[in-house]
Amino acid sequence: MRRRKINVENAAKFMYILPVVVKAFEMEITPANRIVAQIGEAVVLTCNTTGCASPSFSWRIQTDNPLGGTVTSLGTHSKLTISAVNIENAHDYLCTVSCEPEKKEKSVKIEVYSFPSDPVIEISTSLAAGEQATVTCKIPNVYPSDRLEILLKKEDRILHEQNFYEDHSTNAENKTVTYSFNPTTDDIGKEISCVAKLPIDGMGSEPKERVTSQKLNANFGPKNTTIIAPPSNSAMEGDTVHLTCVTESNPPPQIVWRRKVADKIVQCASENNVLIIPQAHFADSGLYICEVANLLTNKTEKATVEIVVQAPPKNTTLSVFPSNAVKQGERVAISCTSTGVPAVKITLRKKVGDEITTLETQDGKYTIERVLLKDAGTYECVSSNELGEESQHLVLNVKVPPQNITVLVHPSENVKEGENVTITCSTYSNPPSQMILKKVHPEKELILSPVNGTFILYNVTKSDTGTYLLDVFNEVGSNVKMIKIAVVGRVENPDQMMLVIIAFSCVTAIAVPVAAILIYVSRQAKINGSYSLVKALRLKV
């Protein structure tokens, strides 16, 4: 290693003597001048010195109160530690440093405050729309209260503002602000805010402003209750109908559905605001009632709707009074009724064979004051609307007693012995008549029955002469016709008489000889004890 030579002479030219600097005795305190601490926090005050190798420290309060903390001195600095400040620590603290023969001192002011938590809002439980409500805002453990400012706001609008400038309390206290107002339904859901401000400079990270908000939940209603129904409050039969009950209420109300049936109100099976009628039937038409009740406001409100279920004609009935089988001359009332929506049109028609007659009715009723046989027939009621039609029919049977009786006697009422007499009867009646023929006789009554409405007297004799009663009857009534029949003796024809005489002469000519023979034979028999007719005849020959 090569060493470098230093030229002392040349080096001396550049050398100078540095002056020795001695620092002056100084002190400082941190934090300087002022510290702001929240009650309960730890505070450390530090006193430092320079220019003094062995300083002497002392701490005191200008009011000569206890320090309320612990002093630790080491070398050129000293610390005063207050583990948890309180209101009694709110003083000016003085640090004195002695460095013989000098003495210096400085002070720092401790300010304390209490602002530990957010405000607490309380709203009266009986809050109801239109009624006075009370809002209470409480600021817990605040100090110093003469710096406290409180705002009550609804959304961005200030409702109330209050300060405590005249309050010089020496302790941390709860401060409360109360405000009353009348909420409306528009206020529901809006925020009520309590804003607490404690504007103290130097509060560090702690907030100078604390806010608590709460939504308004005023109790009100029910009101403006309505029922939302299908268009025109009508539906087709078979559709599912939804009825929705809408109301304004807080808290939500209890809802009960009812329906008017005849003269009674019956409850429907639904526990919410929607009533469902599945496969609506014509019979589901009627008045529906939605009843809402708010248990907190103790108020009840109702809404009604008349629902019409449209259907083709139904329940069509056709009736007749007193019955469908009446006697001629009675009063007959025919009535046709039917239901349906839209309204049904009722047409009453009478059918007889191929002939159809439309009858004039009043509200589906047709009256016949004195019914006749011509009024009998089939009556049909047709009920129709734009959705369809339905019909019913009945048969009216008019019962008529025998009338217009016509009796024909053939060949006539005056006949000869041996002839046949035919009596024919025709009549007009319903139901068909029965008939019998009676001969009036003081001792014995002769009753004859017809064959197809015809009576026949065979080979009449004079004993058949007399009065006959023809009794024509049915279940409604009867009618009797009198017939007189006269039977006269037989009148012979001349030609027939001649034949009779000739025949009689022939018989006589034969009979006389035969008689004589018989007499003779008889006598002979008595003599001989027997007689042969053959021998006798041979002898005669």
Q: What is the pTM of this model?
A: 0.48
Q: Which helix (H) or strand (E) holds 11?
A: helix 8-14
Question: If you write DSSP's letter for every residue of 464-513 in order, what string do you get?
Answer: G-EEEEEEEE-SS-EEEEEEEEEEEPPPPPHHHHHHHHHHHHHHHHHHHH
C-alpha 315/C-alpha 341 separation (Å) is 12
CATH 2.60.40.10 range(s) for the chain read: 26-113, 120-218, 224-309, 311-399, 400-485
Q: HSE on the CB side for 433, CA within 13 Å?
A: 24
Q: Please state which CATH class domain 224-309 belongs to.
A: mainly beta
Q: Which CATH architecture has domain 311-399?
A: Sandwich (2.60)
Per-residue pLDDT of the chain (541 residues), as tens digits, is 444 444 545 544 545 555 545 578 899 999 888 899 999 999 999 999 998 888 999 999 977 778 889 999 998 999 999 999 998 888 899 999 999 888 998 999 999 999 989 999 988 755 666 678 889 999 999 999 888 999 999 888 999 999 988 888 888 899 999 998 888 778 778 889 999 999 888 776 677 889 999 888 777 889 999 999 988 898 999 999 999 999 988 888 999 999 998 888 888 888 789 999 999 988 899 999 999 999 888 899 999 999 999 999 989 999 999 999 999 999 999 999 998 888 899 999 999 888 899 999 999 999 999 999 899 999 999 999 998 999 999 999 999 999 888 999 999 999 999 999 999 998 888 899 999 999 888 777 788 888 888 999 999 999 889 999 999 999 999 999 999 999 998 755 545 444 443 444 444 444 444 444 444 434 443 333 333 333 333 333 3
- Tokens standing for residue 335: 């009535």
List, in order, residues 6 or more apart from 431 with CB less than 8 Å away.
399, 474, 475, 476
Cα(517)–Cα(532) distance, integer angstroms: 12
Question: What is the token pair recorded at 5?
Answer: 């030579």
Whether the bond into 253 is cis, omega within 30 of 0? no
CA dihedral 357, 358, 364, 365 (to 10 degrees): -50
Q: Please, which residues have CB within 8 angstroms of residue 104's CB and are 6 or more apart in sequence?
A: 25, 26, 27, 49, 96, 97
Instruction: Tell the CATH topology of 26-113.
Output: Immunoglobulin-like (2.60.40)
The CATH fold of domain 400-485: Immunoglobulin-like (2.60.40)
> What are the residues facing 336 on neighbouring strands?
318
Angle at 317 between CA 311 and CA 318, to 5 degrees: 140
Query: From CA 87, how far away is CA 143, in angstroms rounded?
Result: 9
Strands 345-352 and 355-359: antiparallel
DSSP annotation of 219 reads B
CATH number for the region 120-218 comes to 2.60.40.10
Residues 225, 305: Cα–Cα separation, whole Å: 12
pLDDT in tens, 214-254: 888 777 889 999 999 988 898 999 999 999 999 988 888 99
